[in-house]
Amino acid sequence: MSTKLDLIAVVGEYTDAQGNNKKRFAKVGTLWDKGQGISLKIDNVPLNWDGWLSAKPPLEPKTTKQSAPVFDEDAPF
């Protein structure tokens, strides 16, 4: 059985609209556990990184209900 996890790093902080401090995260790579050992693929290294990574299940892509823009049929292009 193969397990795939995203490698996540804390890359900064920000203050939300309610004045709460929040951490900013970035995916920096992927981890695979194929049962015979663990493999890591690092795609990038953040500049302000403390060296710690978290392995989390991949997030599902967000879907939006936006439709494509409607253009006038008489547009000159």
What are the structural domain ranges in the chain?
Answer: 3-56
pTM of the model: 0.68
Per the document, the length of the chain is: 77
- Examine the pLDDT at 47 and tell me if it is beyond 70: yes
Residue 70 has pLDDT above 90, yes or no: no
Measuring CA to CA, how many Å separate 56 from each of 52, 53, 64, 65, 75? 13, 10, 23, 27, 47
Identify the three-state secondary structure at position 36: coil
pLDDT at 71 (0 to 100): 57
Q: What is the CA radius of gyration of the chain?
A: 20
Sheet containing 54-56: order of strands:
38-42, 21-33, 3-15, 54-56
pLDDT value at position 60? 78
